[in-house]
Amino acid sequence: MKDNTTLGHLSAFLTILLWGTTFISTKVLLDDFSPVEILMIRFLIGYLCLWLVYPRKILFRAFKEEWLFIGAGLCGVTLYFLCENYALDYSLASNVGVIVAIAPLFTAILSSIFLKEDKLSPLFLTGFLLSITGIILISFNGSFILKLNPLGDVLAVLAAAVWAMYSIFMRKISRLQLNTIGVTRKIFFYGLIFMAPVLLLTGFDVKAAQFFNLKNLLNLLFLGMGASAICYVTWNWSVGILGAVKTSVYIYLIPVIAVVASAVILHEEITWVAITGSLLTLLGLYLSEGKLNFKNNESQAK
């Protein structure tokens, strides 16, 4: 069990490591694709990849189980990315980055209500406050320009909330003891179904020539195969091993990884503010995970 827990933490960390660099690929693709087009293509690629790896179906067993997959697809695929992408249209990226990072707090609240797991503790809240402070420093990176936009900020809050709901759905699905790849593919299927009406409203004007561009093709494959197919499988597996809250806390690392990736790939400058923010975020992550580990060990001892 201890080995699985260690692997669960490693899996969550590696997932976040990839997710923290996806903004670079998305930024490149936005020159030729709309946000909704990128979303549809990446999850379609992800779905096909998972089908090739695990072609067996997750059969319908009961409506109470099927609703979990429907809810996970709606929240974790369609609503989360739509809320986040459109939040970026109406608000500053720094604002959205900070607000979306409150997802672990929402997850902890919902987990204590619906799962009766990992109740909020003073140390968890302390870790949350330290991480959010660090993320604010990273996001504004010394400029400290706060631009409040009610619509954009509300959409960012909704993105954090629906991701928390996705975590709860995944924790419940993990108890069904089904194949993680098959489960993830089924969630993608429902996510794509919910995405279809959005495409009808916004339009889907993608031409073959856009895929012949090697830059576009490589970035789409990275988002589809890596950030979607592989990362959702590893994240969902971690949720099953660690629980919804302990896994979601790794979301704090995304801004830290984004800063490092920007410096390495885009050659952006790392300021002392970003370094301080990164250290605070890591300290907050450590405190949040440490308290949860203590509670779990204590409950196992009993």
The pLDDT assigned to 144 comes to: 47
pLDDT digits (tens, 9 = 90+) for 153-167: 788 889 999 999 999
The pLDDT assigned to 48 comes to: 97
Q: Count Cβ atoms within 10 A of the Cβ of residue 265 and give its class: 0-12 exposed, 13-18 middle, 19 or more buried.
A: exposed
pLDDT band at 202 (very low <50, low <70, confident <90, very high): confident
Q: Which of 100, 113, 111, 198 is nearest to 158 (CA)?
A: 100
If one counts every other C-beta atom within 10 angstroms of the C-beta of residue 300, the result is 8
Mean of the per-residue pLDDT values of the chain? 85
More confident residue, 185 or 25: 185
pTM for the predicted model, two decimal places: 0.85
Mean pLDDT across 113-133:
82
pLDDT band at 97 (very low <50, low <70, confident <90, very high): confident
Residue 279 has pLDDT above 50, yes or no: yes
